[in-house]
Amino acid sequence: MAVDTEADLRRQELRGLDRLDSTRTRRPLVRRLWDATWPKVAALALALAGWQALAATGWKAEAGFGGPGPVLRELWAALTDEYAGNGLPTVWDAIRVTMTRGVVGFLLATVVGLLLGVAVSQSKILRAAIGSLITGLQTMPSIAWFPLALLLFGIDESAIVFVILIGSVPSIANGVISGVDYVPPLLVRAGRNLGAGRVGLYRHVIVPAALPSIVSGLKQGWAFSWRSLLAGELLVAIANRPSLGQFLQASRETSDTNYMIALMIIVLAIGIVVDVVFNAFDNRLRRRRGVAPQP
């Protein structure tokens, strides 16, 4: 570009500064996947090695505690339905029942938690009335609710769902409340000045600004749901409803330690998979806002 005038020179300077100033780097996908994967694989290998070493010392061998080998064989057998065929429910039936309860309970908790969060963040009176109660409920172990739930609902699905709700609604509501509380006032001002009314302000400023906090509330809500659910399943055995909790309980009764640990691995794995999904969403949100390190 030829430099004719002062104005052209200025424009070139400006463009030069812009290009020097703005950076956009993201490593290639394969590299990112590798960087995210190898530490996990290494950690897993270390954990297995440690477990094997512990089992080799003969620690708690009398209680049936074995190394990763027999447990993983047991896990494989369970997942491939090797024990099916004699009319008994399989581990997949149990996973299905438990997951259904978890998902239904969590979705219900999401609806209730979001509504409650919006209501409390909007109303000074509600906040004064139940703001600290919500946080208080969050600290209460959900298993403490089970005796009451059993009295109220009997040995029934609704007792389990009730406890899931009690356990996870506060986290979800708190996510909304703190998200709304921490919306930068400057953005609200800017939104108003750009012509946003009450609804527009919510839709285009407050909700998107609060979204990361809402998502982390949901993530925590899921964790509480899952915990409450497994605790509940240990206590509440419903006929013809095989669940992971019931399977765990049964393996204790039969002193089948390897099978029990295999079941625990399944419970952990489900928790991790759901967490990975939430994290992927959360990271994307944060990356778009420039508050997450580039993975």
Partner 1 sequence: MTTTTPTAGAATGTTGGPAVALRDVSKRYAGERGVLALDGISLDAAPGEFVCLVGASGCGKSTLLNLVSGLDRPTSGTVTVQGDPAFMFQEHALFPWLSALDNVAMPLRLDGVGRRERTLRAREHLAAVHLEEFADRRPHELSGGMRQRVALARTLATKAPVLLMDEPFGALDAMTRDLLHDELESIWRERRLTVLFVTHNVREAVRLGDRVVLLTSRPGRVAAQYPVEIARPRRIEDPDVAALAGEITAELRQEVARHGR
Provide the sign of the torsion angle of the four alpha carbons 56, 57, 61, 63, taken in this order.
negative
Residue from 190, 272, 277, 280 touching partner 1 (CB under 8 A): that is: 190
Q: Does 27 bind partner 1 (CB under 8 A)?
A: no
Q: Does 4 bind partner 1 (CB under 8 A)?
A: no
Cβ proximity to partner 1: between 60 and 203 the closer is 203
Q: Which of residues 158-187 bind partner 1 (CB under 8 A)?
A: 186-187
Q: What are 234's two structure tokens?
A: 């240990």
Report yes or no: 1 and 14 within 8 Å, Cβ to Cβ.
Answer: no
Q: Does 208 bind partner 1 (CB under 8 A)?
A: yes
Cβ proximity to partner 1: between 19 and 124 the closer is 19
Q: Does 104 bind partner 1 (CB under 8 A)?
A: no
Report yes or no: 83 and 74 within 8 Å, Cβ to Cβ.
Answer: no
Shortest gap between Cβ of 11 and partner 1 (angstroms)?
A: 7
Residue from 5, 23, 57, 254 touching partner 1 (CB under 8 A): that is: 23
**Other Cβ atoms closer than 10 A to 194:** 11
| CA–CA distance, 114 with 118 (Å, rounded to integer) | 6
Q: Candidates 20-28, 47-55, 81-89, 142-150 — which segment interacts with partner 1 by CB under 8 A?
A: 20-28
> How does DSSP assign 82-133, residue by residue?
TTTTSSPPPHHHHHHHHHHHHHHHHHHHHHHHHHHHHHHHH-HHHHHHHHHH
Q: Candidates 4-12, 67-75, 159-167, 234-242 — which segment interacts with partner 1 by CB under 8 A?
A: 4-12
Q: Per this entry, what is the length of the chain?
A: 295
Shortest gap between Cβ of 183 and partner 1 (angstroms)?
A: 11
| CA–CA distance, 77 with 85 (Å, rounded to integer) | 13
Q: Does 18 bind partner 1 (CB under 8 A)?
A: yes
Closest CA to 134 of 148, 115, 106: 115
| CA–CA distance, 129 with 209 (Å, rounded to integer) | 26
Q: Candidates 16-24, 81-89, 213-221, 240-248 — which segment interacts with partner 1 by CB under 8 A?
A: 16-24
Report yes or no: 244 and 94 within 8 Å, Cβ to Cβ.
Answer: yes
Residue from 8, 11, 268, 294 touching partner 1 (CB under 8 A): that is: 11
Residue from 27, 40, 204, 252 touching partner 1 (CB under 8 A): that is: 204
Interface residues toward partner 1, by CB under 8 A: 6-7, 10-11, 13-15, 17-18, 21-24, 186-187, 189-197, 200, 204-205, 208-209, 211, 285, 288-291
